[in-house]
Chains A and B, each alone.
Chain A
């Protein structure tokens, strides 16, 4: 009692420090020192159980993570004699063990912090809370954590873990034909996959070729739908047009129609031999066009079909933006002698850009990875003999898909994913820094 009283006058956090140090030595020791025996005992039992039960599996998991297995599978006459290590399962188990370990460390830190805080209360001459009080406090202050527990678990296991795993795979040789578990082992190879991607001519030619088309595709796909949408919004906004609702409703159809269905329809609609478009062209005396089988025309086709799919979204959006523009701005422009195109150029466009700028960038990022349009329309084709496992219209994401599901080149697919990841994250972060959602939370 005496110590507590004296330290209240002088801010020497004697109990706090002692409790914290004790809790570092062993979970719950600090709590016991503070007189919270039940809580301390539970914490210590927890640590003991984790050490006794968790130590061996953890060591095994770390061994697996570092070595990715040491015993290859042995078969004799088609029968498995030695099962061998499954490198990929070992990798996942190692990763999971690390996640759990991180959680444990967090808990440990919490234990130290708790001991320190309770100690500080004693230093101020106050009584540490009883167990019942603490449970009540937890249910109150800890409520957001209760709410978040399940969503966070989902995010961890379906997004974060796959991403980390994907990153790690890029540094292994997990690929067909020599490194596919369970038949053979996978090894860490450092940056070799990236070196292959940039230096081996077959890979680098494919990568740069696809990247170039990918950027062209994303730019054109975004700008074409954006400006066509704007064009139709302006057109439908004009005083001449009667039945605006009717036209707008009609033009929204492609957007409301399920995308994968329309893409599969176009796949057939543009068929060189049997498709109705070419049959029509031929019937009016024009040459038939190899829409999907010629490299150039295939690229034109994906862009045109994307235009069909994408312009309604921008049209609707722009209609909203345009009606939001103050009429007085146009009147002021008219006083200065600006009409028609000039007013559009100097009043409408800047305002539209400002309102839709962030969306335009997001749309670029989306189109950059627009798997559906490419894969469902052309499947990346026509085949390109200069590329490894890719066709003329393949973008990086559809190439990754082929590398993964069709070719089992997992390491290369992961390396390319990682590059896309960095690229898209960069764009989006710069973008979000400029939007209000971000600033409101002051996250930047």
Chain B
């Protein structure tokens, strides 16, 4: 009997060892970047895990001497714009596909299905040339429009799936009472779709904070940079002389987004899986 208990003990010890090592591996890079941002030195070489002295000078430098505030404003604008536009586009198209039967519906859905499989930057060359042609290259609006268009196919399927699950009887009752399509849409359906609406809005708000490639294609000038572009340039080229400033910027962006994703994790995972695995 003791050997059984002993082997149980060993097993438990092993499991806890794995858990601790993993926790360490997960936390070290994050801890390191926080420490680096508080480290008085400037370069990668001078940063240590446990600096002798902590200082907020890099944060101050970030806000007073670099374009960081401007990048932040730009990103905020793009994120907000994309959130509003994408949500509007997604919900109108999902509502149409879910509630109406019209010629071209099935082929439309199939087209959306195929289109959602491609990353937005697949037509990179074309987007670049198109925006150049219509004078929207290097503008925040150009970026918002491209993001919003890209959000439609996946979002439509997602929101349509959700809408399909809402019984239509309430809407039909409203129709019998003489409500118009628009009234029904705004007063009956829209409030019911609040959960999926929030999900679409949030993912489209977070998207631009993280995206690098589309922003890089569309935005060219220093004035229009977003956070991802600005931070990328801080730590590539020029021999990493601004490493600790980058660290401060990284902490500032990571904090709100991490918290946001954290509280919404269940929601996000469900959304991610709903697209492929509806049961």
Contact = CB atoms under 8 A, between A and B. Distances in A.
Interface of A: 88-89, 92, 139-141, 143-145, 147-148, 150-152, 154-155, 157-163, 165-166, 169, 232, 235, 238, 240-241, 247, 249-262, 264-269, 271, 273-276, 308, 313, 316-317, 320, 355-356, 358-359, 362, 365, 369, 371-372, 375-376, 379, 397, 400-401, 404-405, 410, 413-414, 417, 420-421, 424-425, 428-429, 431-432, 435-438, 440-443
B254 A413 contact: no
A424 B117 contact: yes
B66 interface: no
Contacts of B258: 253, 256-258
B126 to A, nearest CB: 3
A443 B100 CA distance: 16
Interface string B247-279: 000100110011001100100010011011111
Contact of B115 (A159, A362, A404): A159
B218 to A, nearest CB: 11
B4 interface: no
B137 interface: no
B236 interface: yes
Contact of B213 (A139, A143, A275, A371): A371
B76 interface: no
B146 A261 contact: no
A425 B114 contact: yes
A257 B23 contact: no
Interface in B141-162: 145-146, 148-150, 152-153, 156-157, 161
Interface in B69-103: 88-90, 92-93, 95-97, 99-100, 102
B127 A252 contact: no
A127 B125 CA distance: 54
Given A260-B228, A371-B121, 10 more contacts: A92-B133, A140-B181, A147-B93, A163-B122, A165-B129, A249-B262, A262-B29, A371-B213, A431-B276, A432-B113
Contact of A247 (B23, B113, B157, B216): B23
Q: State the 4 A-B residue pairs at the shortest beta-carbon distance, nearest first.
A: A158-B149, A162-B123, A162-B126, A165-B126
A253 B165 CA distance: 32
B253 to A, nearest CB: 6
B276 A437 contact: yes
Contacts of A379: 236
A240 B12 contact: yes
Contacts of A268: 44, 235, 240, 243
Nearest to B114: A425
A317 B32 contact: no
Contacts, number: 262
Nearest to A236: B19
Contact of B92 (A148, A155, A259): A148
Given A150-B89, A256-B262, A257-B30, A429 B126 contact: no
B40 to A, nearest CB: 16
A308 B23 CA distance: 11
B27 interface: yes
A429 B181 CA distance: 34
Interface residues of B, number: 99
A354 to B, nearest CB: 10
Contacts of B33: 265
Given A256-B261, A264-B231, A436-B278, A159 B210 contact: no
B135 interface: no
B197 interface: no
B157 A437 contact: yes
A417 B125 CA distance: 10
24 contacts: A89-B133, A148-B92, A158-B145, A158-B148, A161-B130, A162-B124, A162-B127, A163-B123, A235-B18, A250-B23, A254-B26, A257-B254, A261-B250, A265-B250, A268-B235, A269-B29, A356-B277, A358-B276, A362-B276, A372-B212, A417-B124, A425-B114, A441-B106, A442-B106
Interface in B213-242: 213, 216-217, 228, 231-232, 235-236, 240
Contact of B269 (A143, A266, A313, A431): A313
A169 B15 CA distance: 56
B118 to A, nearest CB: 7
Judged by DSSP, the binding face of B is helix
B68 interface: no
A431 to B, nearest CB: 8
Contact of A256 (B96, B150, B235, B265): B265
A162 B102 contact: no
Given A256-B262, A268-B44, A365-B117, A401 B124 contact: yes
B213 A372 contact: yes
Given A151-B89, A161-B126, A145 B117 contact: no
B100 A166 contact: no
Contacts of B113: 432, 438, 443
A391 to B, nearest CB: 14
A264 B89 contact: no
Contacts of A417: 122-125
A266 B28 CA distance: 11
A166 B89 CA distance: 25
Contacts of B95: 147
A143 B125 contact: no
Contacts of A158: 120, 127, 145-146, 148-150
B19 A260 contact: no
Given A151-B89, A405-B216, A424-B118, A88 B250 contact: no
B191 interface: no
Contacts of A313: 269, 272
A159 B123 contact: yes
Contacts of B198: none
Nearest to B251: A261
B22 to A, nearest CB: 7
B125 A437 contact: no
A351 B249 CA distance: 44
A260 B123 CA distance: 22
B210 A259 contact: yes
